[in-house]
Amino acid sequence: MTNVTLEIGQSLDETWAERARALPPAKRDQLMSRADAMREQTDGGPTAYACYRALRDDLDPTRPADAERLTWLLRRARGPDRDLEELSRMAAASVPGTGLWYFGQYRLAHYEQAAGRIDDAVKRLFALRKSVAGGDPVEEGGALANLALCLLQQRRTLESLLTGRRAVAALERAGHTRALLHTRIVLARLYMHLHDWSRHEAEMAAVEAGLPALSEEDREFLAPQHLMMSACGALERRRLDEAVALFERFERVRPEKWSPSAVRRAHALTLLGRVDEATRVVAQLRTRRQNQWLTMRIDTVDTMCTVARDAKETVSARVERFFESLPKEAPSRRAQRLVDVAEALRARGGFDDLAKRAYDLAAASILARMAELDRFAREEQPQLEITREERLELGRIREALLERHEEVRHAVIRHVHAMPDDWFTEDGLFALCAWCGCVRHRDGTWIPLGALLPEDPRLRVTHGMCPDCGCDQDGAR
C-alpha cells in the first residue's frame, strides 16, 4: 500500500484525502496523532486542520481524544462548511456546557444563517448566550458576535448594536483579536447606518490598528471587509471620489463580491454627475443574479440616472414605478432611498410635486422606524436585559433619526398637521409626555415628536407621562 506522509506545510488535496481514507484504521490513527502534535506548533495548524477534515468520518465525539480534536476543528472553521455540519450536529448533542457542545451549537447557528433560517439561528444564539453568560469570555463573546450579525440580517439594528457592544467587551476581556476586530467592523457598519460618525471612525481605527497583529490568513479574511466598510463610509458621507476609488480597489481584491460593491460605486458615480458610467454599471448588474437588497439599490440608482438624463415624461413614469417597487420592510433603508431620489428630483428641477411626495414617503418611513424603536425598547427588554445606560443610548439614537435630513423634518411636520384620529384621545386631545415630549398613539406607542408639533391653537394638548419617564421618576424616588 502506498505510504501517506504528513508534514507541516504539505498541501493536503482531495487526492491525498482519498489515499488517507483508504489506509487501515491503525495507519489513520497514526496520521491523527501526527496532526495532534502539529497543531501545537506555530506553523502546523493549517496542516492539522486539513488532516482532521480529510479524516472527519473517523471522529467520534464520545471518545475524549476525538472530542478534543473536533472541538479544535469546529473552533477554527471559517464560514458555513457543509462538510462539518453533521459533526456539528453530533457535537451539539454532546454534554451541555462543554467546549464541544458550545462549538457544535455555534457552528449550527452558522449553517442556519447560511441557509436563510435566521429566526432559528437567532433563537439558538440567544439560548447559547444565556448558557455561557458570565463564563468563558471567548465563548460568550463569540455567541454575542454571531448573534449581532444575525440580528443585523434581520434588520434589527438596535438589538444588533447593543449585542455587538457587549460582544466587544467580552472579546476584549478574552484577548481574542480576530473575533474582536470582526465584531468592530459590524459595529462600524451599524454606526454608519445611524450616522454616528465619531463612533464609526473609532471602530474603523481600532480595526486598522489591529490588522497587522493578525496571521496572514486572518488578515486576508478581515482586510477586505475593512476596505468595503471604508468605501461605504465615504459614500454615506458624500466623499464621492474617495468612495469610487475604494470600491474599485475592493472589486480588484474580491472580484466574487463585485455586485454589492459595483451598485454602490454606481450610486457614487451618479451623485458625481457621471451618469453614463453609472448607467453602464447598472446594465452589467442587471445581467447578474440579484437578491431583494441588490434589486432595490439597482432600482434606486437607475431611477436617479433617469432623473438626471431623460425627458420629463420618462422621469415621471420611472419615479412612479420606483415608488410602487419599494418594499414594505426595512423603513430606515426605504427612507434613505427615497431621500436620494427626492434630492435628484430637486437638483433636476421642475419636479417639485414628485420631490415633495418622495420626502413625504420618507417621513412616513421615519415615523414607522421610530415606532419600531419604541416597540423594541418596550417589548424586547426582557430578552436582552437592557441596562439603564443602554436605554439612554436608545433614546439618543431615536431622536437623532429626525436630524438626518432637514427636508424629512419638514415632511414630518406636515404629517403632524394631518394626523389621523388614532393619534388623538377620545376627547380629541393630543397626549404629550410632560417630561420628554413624546406623543402617545392609541396603541400605547410613544413617539418623540413633541418638539416638532406646530404652534396651532386648533391642536388641543393634554399631558401625561410615558413609561420611560415613569421608570426614571420611580428610580429618583
Instruction: Please state, in angstroms and rounded to a whole number, the distance separating the CA atoms of residues 59 and 90.
Output: 10
338-380 tens-digit pLDDT: 888 988 998 888 888 888 888 878 777 776 666 666 666 555 5
105-131 tens-digit pLDDT: 888 888 887 777 888 888 888 888 778
Q: Considering only 15-29, 171-185, 218-232, 447-461, which range has the smallest mean pLDDT?
A: 447-461
Please name every residue paired with 363 in a beta bridge, in sequence order, or none if there are none: none
Strands of the 439-440 sheet, one edge to the other: 446-447, 439-440, 430-433, 461-464
Query: Residue 432: which H helix or E strand, with range?
Result: strand 430-433
337-348 tens-digit pLDDT: 888 898 899 888
Could you identify the residue written with the cell 458615480?
269
Q: Tell me if residue 288 falls in helix, strand or coil.
A: coil
Phi-psi region of 202 (alpha: psi -120 to 50; beta: other; left: phi over 0): alpha
Instruction: Please state, as a whole number, how many other Cβ atoms lie within 10 Å of the Cβ of residue 174.
Output: 17
Averaged pLDDT of the chain: 80
**Percent of residues, the chain, with pLDDT higher than 90:** 23
Give the pLDDT confidence score for residue 451 in this predicted structure.
46
What would the grid cell of residue 312 be? 420629463
Q: Considering only 39-43, 195-199, 244-248, 469-473, which range has the smallest mean pLDDT?
A: 469-473
Please name every residue paired with 461 in a beta bridge, in sequence order, or none if there are none: 430
Query: Residue 36: which H helix or E strand, with range?
Result: helix 25-38
Q: How many residues does the chain have?
A: 477
CB contact at 8 A, 188 and 152: no
Give the pLDDT confidence score for residue 5 in this predicted structure.
74
Express the helix, strand and coil content of the chain in percent, nearest 5 each: 75, 5, 25
Give the residue extent of every domain in the chain. Answer: 322-418, 419-477
Instruction: Please state, in angstroms and rounded to a whole number, the distance separating the CA atoms of residues 319 and 351.
Output: 10
What would the grid cell of residue 148 be? 449581532
Positive or negative: CA dihedral 255, 259, 263, 266: positive
User: Tell me, what DSSP letter sits at residue 23?
Assistant: S
**Exposure letters 91-119 (e unless 16+ CB within 10 A, then b):** bbebeeeebbbbbbbbbbbbbbbeeeebe
